[in-house]
Amino acid sequence: MPAPFLSHVGGLEVESYFDPASATFSHLLIDSPSRQAMLIDPVLALEASTGRIDTQQADRILQRLQARELRLSAILETHLHADHISAADYLRSLTGARIAVSAAVPAVQKSLRRLYKLPPLSMQPFDLLMADGEQLNFGELQVQAWHTPGHTPACLSWLVLQEGRHSAAFVGDTLLAPDLGTGRCDFPGGDARQLYRSINRLLSLPPQTPLYFCHDYPPQERDAAWMTTVEEQRQCNLQVRDGISEDAYVALRQQRDATLAPPRQMQAALQLNLFAGRLPEPLSDGQRYMKVPLSLD
Ligand SMILES: [Fe+2]
């Protein structure tokens, strides 16, 4: 497992952990003075051929928290991911951290419950449903939720506020590295026009603001990149740099989405992530099961 990428934003430390199987970054935010940490988009690895769930990366982050005597105060999801299983519930059970998502998540949960023929939720598996602009305290800092839909209807970007100013944004699957463009918009409820507007909002932040990705799919000629800046995206992004109109972007996005296969772990990811990554209860044989809808073409 690769070592985390380290960066600083003012007084905030960021450790970015890469899961090569799903190409996902989990970002650990550390506020040393208050000994608090927040974790964005943690991953449970799934070995699809055997159904084996691997907690190695989540455990590694836990060990890191313990070694530095940090308290995990919150787990922040940028959206209900379709390409990996969230480790949010697993880490909550071990740390007591609260899990925060978009206030738009219940509508997505409802459509996923319909898709997988699941009963109504007996209780909401997420602790905090964040409206646009709502904030969480994080030592002397604040973390603010921005509703940035388009990739899915319930995507949030998480912005760090230092002395009242937006100093960094964790943008989920809105933007990818500049040479790749943006997140896809062909999942249920995805909308390229909405994503264009969400991205424009993020790109209205000051030019040097760091933007941290949820994914990277690096071509052979470069290493994985975990962050960029507003300026770099505005100058170089393949699909949304300055000068590309909303209509031109929508056409580009739809063309690209038509070529993309569904993520390999999509069935597992969607039906577990609607419960914050909690595994289904075992049946009488002690085994946990998931559903896979089949189709005959
Ligand atoms: Fe995603």
184 CA → ligand 1 middle, Å: 8
284 CA → ligand 1 middle, Å: 34
173 CA → ligand 1 middle, Å: 5
187 CA → ligand 1 middle, Å: 9
214 CA → ligand 1 middle, Å: 8
Element housing 199 (H / E): helix 192-202
pLDDT in tens, 74-97: 999 999 999 999 999 999 999 999
157 CA → ligand 1 middle, Å: 12
245 CA → ligand 1 middle, Å: 24
31 CA → ligand 1 middle, Å: 27
Report the SS3 class of residue 98.
strand
Predicted confidence at residue 2, as pLDDT, reads 75
Local structure of residue 103 (DSSP, 8 states) = T
271 CA → ligand 1 middle, Å: 14
CATH architecture of 5-273: 4-Layer Sandwich (3.60)
Is the distance from CB of 227 to CB of 213 less than 8 angstroms?
Answer: yes
Q: How large is the average pLDDT for residues 1-24? A: 92
Q: Is residue 220 pLDDT above 80, yes or no?
A: yes
d(CA 184, CA 151): 6
Q: How large is the average pLDDT for residues 39-67? A: 95
| Average pLDDT of every residue of the chain | 96
For β-strands 43-47 and 36-40, DSSP reports them as unpaired
d(CA 246, CA 62): 42
Q: What residues have their beta carbon closer than 5 A to ion ligand 1?
A: 81, 173
Query: C-alpha dihedral over 73, 89, 94, 91, to 10 degrees?
Result: -60
For β-strands 141-147 and 156-162, DSSP reports them as antiparallel
79 CA → ligand 1 middle, Å: 7
84 CA → ligand 1 middle, Å: 9
pLDDT in tens, 239-269: 999 999 999 999 999 999 999 999 999 999 9
d(CA 270, CA 81): 7
Is the distance from CB of 152 to CB of 72 less than 8 angstroms?
Answer: no
253 CA → ligand 1 middle, Å: 15
Q: Is residue 7 pLDDT above 90, yes or no?
A: yes
Predicted confidence at residue 193, as pLDDT, reads 98
Domain segments of the chain: what residues?
Answer: 5-273
Predicted confidence at residue 58, as pLDDT, reads 97
Q: Is residue 274 pLDDT above 80, yes or no?
A: yes
For β-strands 98-102 and 128-130, DSSP reports them as parallel
Element housing 141 (H / E): strand 141-147
What is the largest distance, in Å, between two alpha-carbon atoms of the chain?
Answer: 60
**Residues contacting 127, CB < 8 A, separation 6+:** 92, 98, 99, 100
From residue 146, give the alpha-carbon distance in Å to each of 39, 102, 111, 254.
17, 9, 23, 25
Predicted confidence at residue 119, as pLDDT, reads 87
Q: Which position has the higher pLDDT, 119 or 16? A: 16
